[in-house]
Amino acid sequence: MNNKIRAGVPGKLITAAVSLGLMTLTGQVLAQERVASIDLMTTTESYDPIRYEAAFIIAERWRELGFEVNVQPTEFSTALERFYDQQDFDATILGWSGRTDRLDPQFFLSTLDSRQSNLGGNNPGGYENPEFDALFDQQSQAFDLDERQRIVQEMQEFYKPDAPLVVLFHRDEVVAFNHDAFEGINPMAGEGLYSEWGPMEARPVGDRATLRIGGPQEPDNLNPLASTSVWGWKWMRLYYDRLVRLSADVEPLPWAAESVAQVDDNTVAVTLRQGMTFHDGEPVTADDVAFTWNYYLDQDYSYFNSYLAALERAEQVDEYTVHFHLSEPSASFASISLSQIPILPKHLWEEIEDASTLSPSQIPTVGSGPFVHERFDRGEFMALSKFEDHFHADEIAVDGVEFIIYADMEGVYTGLQTGQIDVTAWRMEPGQIGLAESEDHLTVVNVPDFGYFHMTYNLRREPFDDRAVRRALTMATDRDRMVNVLLDGRGEVGSSVIAPVNTFWHDPFVERFDFDMEAARAELEEAGYSWDDEGRLVR
């Protein structure tokens, strides 16, 4: 009898197999075990039909490869909590928005830094590679632009063979606004029309001066120490000031800071703009700024760890001067980090020992920004009014901003069509775009995105702790179908966490993992996997 074992023949076990194992040439029986089933978490169909359908496209091919897959549509805020705060998932489809500060590679690369893998951190999948972490530190400290570009591109080539996640696609931002109600609403790369600059640049066409925005999701919360979603931060950025704001071209513009200067490699000096007040009338001083940054350090808020990593402490030098003392040189601290932390009023926050324990009603919503927080009715409505004492108030033509929360994008589009809202805060679905283009009162805007939708594997769990399995599953993910069918061609298949449209930092030569079921099967066979008589993958 021929006892040679042939792995990788689906639906068949050769005659040397026994019911629970395979027999070696010496007659020893090796136990076989089916590979663990996979729960694939995605958003609900009403929240995002693209991600919902993408999960079923993925599951179909993974089952063909021999895996048992359960698709788990999950309410968005619950998915975020399970993904970030609990890390309770097998594989999850979510997305990173292309906020302007993320044109700098620091943030997206940090999502693969092992020091971000703690609960609440930006690396929930748990990818851990000391060499990648060392390269991350090198690029952070490289002030020479060409040298930093070389390291950033090397990092992309370095992580891709490990396949810790799949960049599914970069989806074009196709959004619209009512030009009969407002003008001067300009799109930003990655942010579309709903950016922090939109309400500050919009100009009323008629008598109504309140800008109405509509979207399918409310903030996860309005706690600046706990919010992890773009929906929370896009709203809070309107009523909190930061030291620096980024232009659409990622140019750092002094904002609450009058000036920013590099004292030495490890010290950044900020001179605060004078005459600023919080919305409750209290003055904004360097003491508030130093308190805010040290408070974030003490609270160990994981969402901002990549921006705070180099900071040792903030020191108030005088009433309007703060020195930021760094543990190491940082190429992005003055331009990127200073643009991300909101200035908190010390007199309201200094008695709050643990910000994560605050209930919604206990969260202070007082900032110093160009708009004042007025109202948040969960699931329905949010409102801001213009802060007349803000230094930028004379440049703002609207008297306030309202955000109407809809159950889905169908409701958002209906609100835009009927004049209930003026701007869409989220991408329109492919079937709505042609309809919007035919409406005389609407302007449709298409902006390429450098954010991305991703499927992240939990590397702490089987079978994702095996590199060969991750590579095979990635090869068995039909991303071309997602772009061509689900997005109607309005997007691009992903290849790296740094998008192709971000040409200076993107590495076009990374391993792409094109859709190839035979290659996926071969990857598993080479790693010693086979299939049982029901076609299920075993090891």
* Tokens encoding 192: 């579309």
* Amino acid at residue number 477: T
Give the mean model confidence (pLDDT) for residues 18-41: 68
Strands 423-424 and 210-215: parallel
Task: Give the pLDDT confidence score for residue 1 in this predicted structure.
Answer: 35
pLDDT at residue 300 greater than cutoff 50? yes
Q: Taking the CA of residue 510 as centre, how many other CA atoms within 13 Å lie in the half-sphere pointing to its CB? A: 27
- What's the whole-number average pLDDT of the chain? 91
Strands 21-23 and 29-31: antiparallel
Full DSSP string of 276-312: -B-TTSPBP-HHHHHHHHHHHHHHT-GGGHHHHTTEE
Three-state DSSP at 373 gives strand
Residue that is written with structure tokens 């061609």 in the block: 489
Give the mean model confidence (pLDDT) for residues 32-37: 93
> Using an 8 Å Cβ cutoff, are 139 and 152 in contact?
yes
Q: How many Å apart are CA 35 and CA 51, to the nearest integer? A: 25
Three-state DSSP at 374 gives strand
Residue 496's contacts (CB-CB under 8 Å, 6 or more residues apart) are 156, 160, 167, 506, 507, 510
Q: How many Å apart are CA 168 and CA 452, to the nearest integer? A: 7
Give the mean model confidence (pLDDT) for residues 449-459: 95
Task: Give the pLDDT confidence score for residue 30 in this predicted structure.
Answer: 60
pLDDT digits (tens, 9 = 90+) for 49-79: 999 999 999 999 999 999 999 999 999 989 9
pLDDT band at residue 307 using 50, 70 and 90 as cut-offs: confident
Helical (H) or strand (E) element with 381: strand 381-386
pLDDT at residue 186 greater than cutoff 80? yes
pLDDT at residue 29 greater than cutoff 80? no
Q: What is the DSSP letter of 196?
A: S
* Amino acid at residue number 119: L
List the single range of 115-124, 212-221, 244-253, 491-500 with lowest mean pLDDT.
Answer: 244-253
Task: Give the pLDDT confidence score for residue 189 in this predicted structure.
Answer: 76
pLDDT at residue 17 greater than cutoff 60? no
List the single range of 180-194, 372-386, 449-463 with lowest mean pLDDT.
Answer: 180-194
Task: Give the pLDDT confidence score for residue 537 in this predicted structure.
Answer: 97
List the single range of 198-207, 249-258, 287-296 with lowest mean pLDDT.
Answer: 249-258
